[in-house]
Structure 1
Amino acid sequence: MSCSVAVCNSPVFSPSSSLFCTKTSIISPSPEALNSSLTHLKTSSSSPASPSPSPSSPFRIRLQKPPSGSLLSSSNSVPSSSSVSTILKRKRPARLDIPVATTSFGVPATPCEVARDLEREGDGYSVYCKRGRREAMEDRFSASVELQGDSKQAFFGVFDGHGGAKAAEFAAQKLEKNIIDEVGRRDVSKVKEAVKEGYMKTDAEFLKEDVSGGTCCVTALIQNGNLIVSNAGDCRAVMSRGGVAEPLTSDHRPSREDERNRIQSSGGYVDLCRGVWRIQGCLAVSRGIGDQHLKQWVISEPETNIIGIESGCEFLILASDGLWDKVSNQEAVDIARPSCLGISKQNALGACKQLVDLSVSRGSSDDVSVMLIQLGSYI
């Protein structure tokens, strides 16, 4: 009985036993060389120095070193033409040219994109973003304030990326311009439609970049004394009206009945995975920018709420779910209010950090972003 064992040279599995050898390609030897090899093996097996194999352990057979002229020899010398007609030599694989990874904006990617915390204080707003347990932070924000006549126009946004930071970065750079451009083309009564078009245009532009990932968004446009708040995903906006927390957005998650019905009517499914409702078993939000592989069900259309800014409208909190998963709406307002109204010595940026630290102390491992906007500056 003859037995042949061949194992590939795998970097994962690399046995040290002499029973495993590299498989080579050969052409049948001449009869003279074959007879010489068989004679040698027969003589070696009858030698008293060779132990007899155990019937229960066939792999304990000791293989003798073949002569230098044999085809089984491991010598580096070139065999004669009478032994082997042709030997196919093993060639080194061609060198692979691996391109350098780049971001969707043509800038070389770094191992840790924004591995630090972000903070900023501006005209009537403060923001603080703290990285969670990931190597790089996926949250981003945008903020701009400008004078228009006797009033101020401002745009604020918090973007919570998933599957990387590229979608959040893209939205932070593009969404403001797209929304303001669409608002400028329409009548005042068509603001909601303009914001919707701004979101969907940004989504379409990002999908053309052909990169993975997505982002949840919450934005606030302040214009002509009105507060126009929109969201797609589970970033949330909460306003303090006389110290009472007033949510201005509703989270878009597959657990919402209307969102679940929309997904299922489009041919998708929603199931419970380790206590979290997910689309197609993977994504825990039902709206956002990006997510090309789930675009049939994860739409970019926002929900928009318009509020006239009055004296009772004190401040606005825009934050990612890293905060809202651990801190309630009213609790967040109670903590931020003394700083926003000047009652406390702590400034608004300090209140942002306090809210972030509270979420982390309660076990949040996610990125946490909090922005406070003092609405009294826009009355």
Structure 2
Amino acid sequence: MNRLASIGGRPDGGVDRIAGSAADLTARRWLAERMRARGLVSRTDDIGNVFGHTSSVADRRLLVGSHTDTVPAGGRLDGAYGVIAALEVLTTLHEHGHPAADALEIVSFWDEEGAQPESSGGMVGSTALCGDPHLAEITGFMELHIEQGPRMELAGQELCVVDGIVGVDRHLIRAVGEPNHAGTTPFPLRRDAGRTMTRAAAAAHDVIRSVSDTLVGNIGSFALDPGAPNVIPGAAQMVLELRSPHEDVLTRCAETVLEQTRVIAAEEGCTVEHRILSHRPVIAFDESMRTLLEKTCRSTGRPVGSLYSYAGHDAGVMSAHVPTAMVFVPSTRGISHSPNEHTDDRLLTQGTQVLLEGVIAHHDSH
């Protein structure tokens, strides 16, 4: 993990390894070399996914892994932990001549993060694999990952089997008023789209927090038109993102926010336009694989829980095509996508041990 983190490493302890960068390509070559040094076969496909397996790999096998690309100024664990853990599992099985070794393949997916400005949203390598003939050789997928949030640490949990991935909706909400001179137009005569949208944004946060405790949301994009200090905005828009493991909660929240925005717009003499930018449905992971991993986690005797992931993962893409499951280990203070990302070595090792035993249990059950 330390060696990989040094590729694209920053003085503050973070990592810059954006997909397609020199550091990212160096890391992929390094990973392939590490596989070969351990007596494994490595190959890189046309999109950039790096695979590893034994020389006598079976025609049908379980896939395990994650990604090694990062966001700008990212941490050393996000994605990379799951790849190194997968390499350690396959190496251990191979060194001990365990039959599960030949029924296993490991992967570092290309561009999970989608951190480039021109990116289509990430999960590029896993999406490509799901359209590749190689998918027919895959019987299932397991991914080990840090939580990237504070819930496990707050609950005192050391391991969590992931139920699935939340749905994510993005809405573009636009207010249209009338641009006018900000110095000469009295307040009662204004049709101020900027004031409309700032009021709506404040109200939206209150709605999000009141609808459901499973719901989180964000307004991270906000624009005024024309954007001049002395011009009353004739138009303003925000992008509202909502995440929940319940589709009905996503729908109810969006409807309530829009209703309140229209009321506010009418008070300000403006109109409202709305369109859905994107909808990612709720993903539920395979029940039999979740049960297998839950049994494996509980065998450690350590505190175990279950939760939905509020971040996207390659496992979400894979789950539409093969039985898929994830295991989380805690993130210290819930910090991720940051040089301060950290998980104690004991917990990282424990998660890797669970992955190893989960792979063996999966092999024995098949």
Band of TM-score, shorter chain: under 0.3
More helix by share: 2
TM-score of the two chains, using structure 1 as the length reference: 0.22
Greater C-alpha radius of gyration: 1
The one of the two structures with greater contact order (alpha-carbon pairs below 8 A, sep at least 6) is 2
